[in-house]
Structure 1
Amino acid sequence: MSDTSAKEKEPCTESPIIKESSVLPPEGGTRGWLCVVGAFLGIFCTFGFLNAIGVFQTNYQETTLHEYNPSDISWIFATQLALMWAPGPIFGRIIDTYGPAPVLYPCSFLCVFSLCMTSLASQYYQIYLAQGLGFGIGAGGVFTTCIVCVGQWFVRRRALAAGVAVAGSSFGGVIFPIFFQGVMERVGFNGAVRYTALMIGILMAASCFLVNARLPRKKWDWETKWFDWSLFKEREFALFTTGAFFTMWTIFAPLNFLPSMALDQGFSSSLAFYLISIINTTSMLGRIIPPYFADKVGSFNVITLSAGMTGVSMLALWLPFNYHSSHAGLIVFALAYGFCSGAFVSLMMPCVAKAGNIETLGRRFGTFQIVMAISNLTGLPTTGAILDRQGGHEYSGLQIFSGASAVLGSLILVAATYFLGKTKGSRKV
């Protein structure tokens, strides 16, 4: 009998765990799509809550923190947004090593606990510690867990699956302003924060039950770098990260400052806050429809277009209404901006995965997340400082800066898309 025949008759001693990790993801299945549902709920409670930051910015400016300028107050939300990204590398390695539970469970609890503490806070430093640091760290852990686990179940339809999961952030941005405003009118600001914490706690419990990992655990790799400067020698990655930095730098400015601008122009308080819900309604569509086409025509092509349209919408549909007050005009801007910016946010991570080889994927994600954390940390305070320099009620400088930054980012993304297409020999990138 030949050696080959003998090998064919030998019983397989390979462990089921190793065998499972060697095959491609099942492109969903029941467990995969349940994971997407759980991720949707988790991102709804974290990123979705952060998409309603304009409600808190306006409220703090008018009541609790009225003695502080808009830039000072925006540091609370900038810290939250930065912490959505900054701890991603370490959270991701913990998930790879020990599974989602050690990150998802304590971070879910931290989100609820931080909101309860926010409802008791009355000083700037108390709000910053509870809502800025506490909720920011918890939200970052939940967000990272959801994105990592969804990515393990899909390859060909990864952009669509991630888009559906991240759409939870837009849905949260629709629901939270309406819910918060309605409850606040009955029980006050602090009571509304407590009811919000209760709702988030219930939904996060469901998310913890549904989110699951497909891949087996790995050993902790002490050699892995958290931030790798050498990746910027790769032209496509360097251009994409730079373009994403400038676009993300100001992408949250309308969400944060549009309600206060609307109040200055005579909107009722309810309608001013509902502008955030309008933005997030079309943002939800932007996080699902463009990613669906991105799987067909290329994620880089779609994200570049969405970044450019985000900047154009700020300059062409937001800036004019600083000089000519129009309720309908601001609503049209909210609709257009929400769709374009939603597409950009949902496609960032799938594009990072494409902007290099598989061997550097982990380092690439970590490096990109840290750069995005810096972008989010500095963006809102910068736009808030511009607003403060113009007296707190003149928005043209903030609008021009935000639109120009997004347009600059899109032009850099055009270069990234061109060079990646040239490298791969295809226009579908």
Structure 2
Amino acid sequence: MSDASTKEDVPPMRIPEEQPELAPEGGTRAWLCVVGAFLNIFCRFGFLNAIGVFQTTYQETSLREYTPSEISWIFATQLALMWAPGPIFGRLVDTYGPAPVLYPCSILCVFSLCMTSLADQYYQIFLSQGLGFGIGAGGVFTTSMVCVGQWHVRRRALATGIVTAGSSFGGVIFPIFFNRVMLKVGFYAAVRYTALMIGVLMAASCFLITSRLPRKKWDREAKWFDLTLFKEKQFALFTIGAHFGMWAITVPLAFLPGMALEQGFSSSLALYLISILNASSIFGRIVPSYFADHFGSFNVVTISAGMSGVCILTLWLPFSYQPSHAGLIVFALAYGFFSGAFISLLMPCVAKAGTIETLGRRFGTYQIIMSISNLTGLPITGAILVRQGGADYSGLQVFAGASCLLGSSILVGATYLLGNAKGTRKV
């Protein structure tokens, strides 16, 4: 065979297409992104963690003709919209980077608070504080989680824990800040000062949050919500368990100050219980997240959900029958730690609950379910409180505690299945 024929039989070498350079994991930009995301969550979730201040204030002032359940729909809508638009915002960030979502949503949050400072009717407060702030906060939250997740893989639980600690830190600052300012200048001016503080911090975060991945073309065929993912038993059980846990996890944030007022707390100390709870939650979001990278996020989140329920039933429920100032403070400290750990580890667990190929659809599907949990939890507990005369909190306490324990037991099943699938108990 001639040399010429040999050369003709050899297929020509294909030159691989040039791939965009991917920034390395970690480094200065990665941790600056964590700082920016911390500021975002401080402003958004931190403000939402102060819902007890607004629930109590509205019940005593402009919305006193409405029931606690009706008022709680404002905050339930806020919380639900933190999750519901996640599939849309997440795909936009994945495709075009953080700017198209982060900038307009930050402006929307500040604008909505300014409109809240002018509202005195239920529908006005619902539209501004419920819908407007909720949608803006949802975009900021999703952008923060996506970008931090891109920059940190090996230490994702720790990075996410630091970011979500901004929620607890904000939950410490906002009730104290808002109450002090409100006593001096009134409720509506206090809302405007809060909007100013949030606007300044959000402007700083917009310079710090960056994407690790390059921009790409819009994928028209990608799914936003995929029910077939529930065929994966570990993901199905995890989502159901997280639903029951999230159903009740915000109940003390909304109703603890009202209960404290009923038991003779001063108005300032009653509202400061939210700050105490969130101060403890700072440690709950960081310390367990550190151990989750070593012992498994599923293991830690399951224990945290169970202990949250135990705290409600053993440290909060008894004080409905035997009032105790010190007892409520102890409950706030213990519950803040375990509930903070539960919330901070949910998103890292979603990433572990399936394959990398279904990550985007899994996040979107999970966020829709969580939005339903947040939308229904507070109104249900508010309705229980109304049914018991508005002063007996035992019914909502039993509901919240039982829901957390049920969620934890289901998470045990998810942890067991995932451990079998991966061949390890460190999941």
Tell me if TM exceeds 0.5.
yes
Secondary structure in 2 aligned to 1:304? helix
Aligned position for 2:21: 20
Asked if 2 retains the 8 angstrom alpha-carbon contact of 1:78 and 1:380, the reply is yes
Residue among 133, 144, 147 paired with 2:145: 147
1:274-325, Cα deviation, whole Å (9 max, x unpaired): 0000110011111111010000000000000000000000000000001000
Whether 1:396 aligns to 2:397 is no
Secondary structure in 2 aligned to 1:46? helix
- Aligned length in residues: 420
State the Cα distance separating 1:217 from its structure 2 match.
1.1
Aligned position for 1:92: 90
Quote the Cα distance in structure 2 between the aligned partners of 1:410 and 1:38. 32
1:2-35, Cα deviation, whole Å (9 max, x unpaired): x9xxxxxx9x9864xx3423xxx63420000000
1:112-152, Cα deviation, whole Å (9 max, x unpaired): 00000000000000000000000000000000000100111
Residue among 374, 377, 385 paired with 1:376: 374
Give the residue type in structure 2 aligned to 1:117: M
Say if 1:86 and 1:357 are closer, same or farther in 2 by CA, change over 3 A.
Answer: same
Give the residue type in structure 2 aligned to 1:32: A
Quote the Cα distance in structure 2 between the aligned partners of 1:111 and 1:146. 15
Quote the Cα distance in structure 2 between the aligned partners of 1:381 and 1:37. 34
State the Cα distance separating 1:96 from its structure 2 match.
1.1
Quote the Cα distance in structure 1 between the aligned partners of 2:127 and 2:368. 21
Quote the Cα distance in structure 2 between the aligned partners of 1:76 and 1:309. 28
Quote the Cα distance in structure 1 between the aligned partners of 2:298 and 2:200. 37
Quote the Cα distance in structure 1 between the aligned partners of 2:421 and 2:309. 28
Quote the Cα distance in structure 2 between the aligned partners of 1:267 and 1:218. 56
Asked if 2 retains the 8 angstrom alpha-carbon contact of 1:26 and 1:154, the reply is no
Residue among 43, 67, 70 paired with 1:69: 67
1:117-132 alignment, distance < 5 Å: 117-132=115-130
Quote the Cα distance in structure 1 between the aligned partners of 2:313 and 2:168. 23
Say if 1:233 and 1:42 are closer, same or farther in 2 by CA, change over 3 A.
Answer: same
Residue among 208, 217, 220 paired with 2:218: 220
Aligned position for 1:112: 110
Aligned position for 1:360: 358
Aligned position for 1:177: 175
Aligned position for 1:233: 231
Aligned position for 1:6: none
Quote the Cα distance in structure 2 between the aligned partners of 1:98 and 1:153. 16
Aligned position for 2:408: 410
Give the residue type in structure 2 aligned to 1:191: A
Secondary structure in 2 aligned to 1:144? helix
Give the residue type in structure 2 aligned to 1:378: T
1:368-421, Cα deviation, whole Å (9 max, x unpaired): 000000000000000000000001100000000000000000000001001111
State the Cα distance separating 1:85 from its structure 2 match.
0.2
Quote the Cα distance in structure 2 between the aligned partners of 1:157 and 1:86. 27
Aligned position for 2:10: none
Whether 1:337 aligns to 2:335 is yes
Aligned position for 1:58: 56
Instruction: Name structure 2 gaps, 5 residues minimum.
Output: 1-6, 8-12
Quote the Cα distance in structure 2 between the aligned partners of 1:172 and 1:223. 39
Give the residue type in structure 2 aligned to 1:374: I
Moved over 2 A (4+): 12-15, 18-21
1:279-318 alignment, distance < 5 Å: 279-318=277-316
Quote the Cα distance in structure 2 between the aligned partners of 1:27 and 1:263. 49
Give the residue type in structure 2 aligned to 1:171: F
Asked if 2 retains the 8 angstrom alpha-carbon contact of 1:315 and 1:399, the reply is yes
Quote the Cα distance in structure 1 between the aligned partners of 2:25 and 2:251. 36
Asked if 1 retains the 8 angstrom alpha-carbon contact of 2:20 and 2:214, the reply is no
State the Cα distance separating 1:332 from its structure 2 match.
0.3
Quote the Cα distance in structure 2 between the aligned partners of 1:305 and 1:255. 20
TM-score (norm 1): 0.96
Give the residue type in structure 2 aligned to 1:400: V
State the Cα distance separating 1:356 from its structure 2 match.
0.7
Instruction: Name structure 1 gaps, 5 residues minimum.
Output: 4-9
Aligned position for 1:81: 79
Secondary structure in 2 aligned to 1:287? helix
Quote the Cα distance in structure 2 between the aligned partners of 1:47 and 1:416. 27
Asked if 2 retains the 8 angstrom alpha-carbon contact of 1:279 and 1:334, the reply is yes
TM-score (norm 2): 0.96
Give the residue type in structure 1 aligned to 2:404: A
Quote the Cα distance in structure 2 between the aligned partners of 1:57 and 1:415. 36
Quote the Cα distance in structure 2 between the aligned partners of 1:291 and 1:27. 19
Asked if 2 retains the 8 angstrom alpha-carbon contact of 1:173 and 1:277, the reply is yes
Give the residue type in structure 2 aligned to 1:213: S
Quote the Cα distance in structure 2 between the aligned partners of 1:377 and 1:395. 20
Quote the Cα distance in structure 1 between the aligned partners of 2:77 and 2:21. 39
Asked if 1 retains the 8 angstrom alpha-carbon contact of 2:158 and 2:290, the reply is yes
Quote the Cα distance in structure 2 between the aligned partners of 1:78 and 1:415. 29
Secondary structure in 1 aligned to 2:221? coil
Secondary structure in 1 aligned to 2:21? helix
Quote the Cα distance in structure 1 between the aligned partners of 2:293 and 2:50. 29
Aligned position for 1:270: 268
State the Cα distance separating 1:344 from its structure 2 match.
0.5
State the Cα distance separating 1:177 from its structure 2 match.
0.2
Secondary structure in 1 aligned to 2:62? coil
Aligned position for 2:201: 203
Secondary structure in 2 aligned to 1:414? helix
Quote the Cα distance in structure 2 between the aligned partners of 1:165 and 1:217. 24
1:16-74, Cα deviation, whole Å (9 max, x unpaired): xx3423xxx63420000000000000111101100000000000000010000000000
Asked if 2 retains the 8 angstrom alpha-carbon contact of 1:86 and 1:373, the reply is yes
Give the residue type in structure 2 aligned to 1:86: A
Quote the Cα distance in structure 2 between the aligned partners of 1:273 and 1:198. 22
Quote the Cα distance in structure 1 between the aligned partners of 2:60 and 2:181. 18
